[in-house]
Amino acid sequence: MLATLNGITVAALYFIVAIGFTLIFGLMRVINLAHGALYLLGAYIGYDVAMATGNWFLGLAAGGLGVALVGLVIQATLFDGIQGQEMRQTLVAIGVSIIMADLLLAWYGGLTYQFDPPAMLYGSTALPIVMGYPTFRLVVVGFAVIVGLVIWLLVYRTRFGIIVRAGVDDRPMLSALGVNVPLVSVLVFALGAGLAGLAGVVGGSVLSVSPGEDARYLLSSLIVVIVGGMGSLPGTAIGALLIGLAEQIGLAYFPTYSVIVSFVIMVLVLALRPQGLMGRSG
């Protein structure tokens, strides 16, 4: 039971990271391999602000908004001019990721940081079977659900969401209708980056912040999006839940081989349903 709860908590964190990735990668067709570096940047920004002000919520807001601004600049200056050129986008994203990770390593060193959530979220909550489970981990699950609902409403129930989805199917036609497509792309990229920043603050509070976390969460996001289906928000939720549970249950029952469980799931999905569990074919 404890392994299952831990799996759901990890899945919630993966979902917050991956939903930003699926917005950028799935809806915009931008291969943003710098997404993990944005996660790490958000974690460090949130840490600095939370330590300086003593307010965790300010750190959360600063991590999300700060990384959203960085994402906005990256999209406007680097990716917008090479839209649709997947190889160039990939190389540019890898370069941005390496530079950002090295700058963060130079500034913060190779130390591991952790900042505590608000006192009101400390303690444990009694649950069936499990006598007590950390309250903040349950809050993370609720936060992931709220984020998922807000993004779903934005994408499927607003004019902005209609424009974004139309741009996926026919970008030239959307531009011909008078929509400022580059501006929409910048806003979507900033939103996806901001979600990575929020996830960095939450992840740094649940676990820790250290060099190398960018690669871990980028890989997890890729696996989640591939399993769930590119551009599918429900698929991202299902993929995150599968991978989170597989990782934690694997660690509990066969720790030696747990590292390959996620890759086995990804391979099986690619073999049986290449577009992902909830993805569209073609």
Q: What is the pLDDT of residue 281?
A: 67
CA 172 → CA 84, 179, 230, 277, distances in Å?
12, 10, 21, 29
- Which region among 45-49, 190-194, 203-207 has the lowest average model confidence (pLDDT)? 203-207
Is pLDDT of 162 > 60? yes
Q: What is the pLDDT of residue 240?
A: 94
Is pLDDT of 185 > 90? no
CB atoms within 10 A of CB 268: 11
pLDDT digits (tens, 9 = 90+) for 86-95: 888 889 999 9
Range(s) of the domain holding residue 263: 2-272
Is pLDDT of 250 > 80? yes
Tell me which of 59 and 253 has the higher pLDDT. 59
**DSSP class of residue 257?**
T
Angle at 18 between CA 16 and CA 24, to 5 degrees: 115
Question: In this structure, is residue 278 part of a structural domain?
Answer: no
Mean pLDDT of the chain: 87
C-alpha closest to that of 185 among 17, 25, 21, 28 = 28
Question: In this structure, is residue 174 part of a structural domain?
Answer: yes
Is there a contact between 179 and 163 (Cβ–Cβ < 8 Å)? Answer: yes
Question: In this structure, is residue 105 part of a structural domain?
Answer: yes
Mean pLDDT value across residues 226-247: 90
Is pLDDT of 81 > 90? no
Question: In this structure, is residue 167 part of a structural domain?
Answer: yes
Mean pLDDT value across residues 13-28: 84
Separation between Cα atoms, residue 205 and residue 43, nearest integer Å: 9
pLDDT digits (tens, 9 = 90+) for 209-235: 888 888 888 888 889 988 998 778 899
- Which region among 47-51, 62-66, 121-125, 231-235 has the lowest average model confidence (pLDDT)? 121-125
Q: How confident is the model at residue 255 (pLDDT cuts 50, 70, 90)?
A: confident
**What sign results for the dihedral spanned by CA atoms 81, 87, 90, 92?**
negative
Question: In this structure, is residue 249 part of a structural domain?
Answer: yes
Mean pLDDT value across residues 17-35: 81
pLDDT digits (tens, 9 = 90+) for 120-159: 887 888 777 777 888 888 999 999 999 999 999 998 899 8
Tell me which of 61 and 278 has the higher pLDDT. 61
Question: In this structure, is residue 277 part of a structural domain?
Answer: no
Largest CA distance in the chain: 60
258: exposed, middle or buried (C-beta count within 10 Å: 0-12, 13-18, 19+)? middle
Range 1-37 burial, b when 16+ CB lie within 10 A, else e: eeeebbbbbbbbbbbbbbbbbbbbbbbbbbbbbbbbb
Separation between Cα atoms, residue 64 and residue 99, nearest integer Å: 20
CA 25 → CA 21, 83, 112, 264, distances in Å?
6, 12, 30, 22
pTM, rounded to two decimals: 0.92
Question: In this structure, is residue 239 part of a structural domain?
Answer: yes
Count of structural domains within the chain: 1
- What is the DSSP pairing of strand 124-125 with strand 133-134? antiparallel
Q: Which amino acid does the sequence have at 37? A: A
- Give 113's strand partners: 209
Q: What's 174's domain CATH number?
A: 1.10.3470
Question: In this structure, is residue 205 part of a structural domain?
Answer: yes
Q: What is the pLDDT of residue 282?
A: 56
